[in-house]
């Protein structure tokens, strides 16, 4: 319908003019600043992956409860009926994410982190970005490509509960 079009925008793009002065940058604490590359928070890659996997599972459980989904399937198993899978959006190349480059990295619990290309041509409305945790429902008749028919992509935040003012 409106694929690839900007549906709404906020504000205007910065003008084409040049800045009159260059921004200044100063080191806050030069004695304790990092002078060489370090690992992310001093963690190894397996620790990072475990944290990401935990977050994917946590978001998956929230989506499962909100949309009343029975169970998740593996992205690798062929099925002749619609399946519901949990995973993280990724791109099959280093370029920009587009409808032909979308792949889904399945969660570790159900899919062992396997990747599968996704055909989103049946979806009317969608907004995807790399790293986004989603639940997709669709056909995976060969086990090599998921043809998505439904996309569950977010859980609304709970309303703020009013607190009583101390008097």
| pLDDT tens digit sequence for 118-160 | 999 999 888 899 999 999 999 999 989 999 999 998 887 777 7
Pairing of strands 115-119, 79-91: unpaired
Q: Per-residue pLDDT tens for 44-58?
A: 788 888 888 999 999
Cβ–Cβ under 8 Å, residues 89 and 132: yes
Domain encompassing residue 67 = 45-151
Question: What local confidence, expressed as pLDDT, does residue 136 receive?
Answer: 96
36 — pLDDT class (breaks 50, 70, 90): confident
**Predicted TM-score of the model (pTM):** 0.68
- Rg of the Cα atoms in the chain: 21
Q: List the one residue out of 104, 105, 101 whose CA is nearest residue 49.
A: 105
Residue 15 lies in a domain: no
pLDDT at residue 113 above 80? yes
3-state SS, residue 54: helix
Q: Look at the chain and report how many structural domains it folds into.
A: 1
55 domain-assigned: yes
CATH number at residue 92: 2.40.50.430
Determine the distance from the C-alpha atom of residue 6 to the mean position of all C-alpha atoms in its chain, rounded to a whole number.
20
Q: Are 98 and 114 in contact (CB under 8 A)?
A: no
């Amino acid at each position: 319908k409106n694929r690839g079009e900007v549906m709404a925008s906020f504000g205007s793009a910065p003008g084409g003019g040049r800045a009159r002065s260059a921004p200044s940058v100063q080191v806050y604490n030069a004695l304790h600043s990092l002078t060489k590359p370090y690992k992310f928070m001093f963690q190894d890659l397996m620790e990072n992956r475990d944290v990401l996997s935990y977050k994917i599972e946590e978001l998956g459980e929230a989506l499962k409860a909100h949309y009343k989904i029975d169970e998740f399937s593996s992205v690798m198993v062929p099925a002749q009926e619609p399946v519901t899978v949990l995973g993280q959006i990724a791109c099959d190349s280093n370029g920009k994410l587009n409808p032909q480059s979308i792949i889904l990295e399945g969660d570790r619990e159900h899919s062992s982190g396997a990747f599968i290309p996704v055909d989103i041509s049946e979806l009317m409305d969608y907004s995807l970005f790399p790293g986004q945790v989603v639940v997709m429902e669709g056909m995976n008749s060969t086990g090599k490509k998921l043809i998505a028919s439904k996309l569950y992509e977010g859980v609304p935040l709970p309303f703020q509960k009013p607190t009583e003012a101390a008097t």
